[in-house]
């Protein structure tokens, strides 16, 4: 994670499953695309794993997302 802290695979898995449950509560399903729009880092790994757990499509953040694209992301 950082030079001060590490994350075990179990902790990574636990965080991903916790986020997966939250995404399901918000309506995530296998027929939905979910955007990951955040800085690179361990949190992005957790978010990506949570999306895969829910069998959702993944839309990764690009350096520049146009306003037209941004308004269509829920």
Domain edges within the chain: 9-70
Neighbours of 12 (CB within 10 A): 15
- How many helical (H) and strand (E) elements, i.e. helices and strands, does the chain have? 3, 2
Query: What is the Cα–Cα distance from 49 to 12, expressed in whole angstroms?
Result: 9
- In 3-state terms, what secondary structure has residue 73? coil
Q: Which residues pair with 35 in a beta bridge?
A: 59
Tens of pLDDT, residues 34-60: 888 888 888 988 998 888 887 766 555
Average pLDDT on 12-39 reads 86
The pTM of the full predicted model, rounded to 2 decimals, is 0.69
């Amino acid at each position: 994670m950082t030079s001060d802290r590490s994350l075990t695979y179990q902790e990574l898995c636990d965080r991903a499953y916790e986020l997966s449950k939250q995404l399901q509560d918000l309506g995530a399903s296998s027929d939905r695309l979910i955007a990951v729009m955040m800085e690179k880092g361990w949190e992005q790994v957790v978010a990506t794993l949570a999306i895969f757990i829910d069998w959702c499509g993944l839309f990764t953040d690009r350096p520049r997302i146009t306003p037209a694209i941004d308004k269509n992301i829920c």
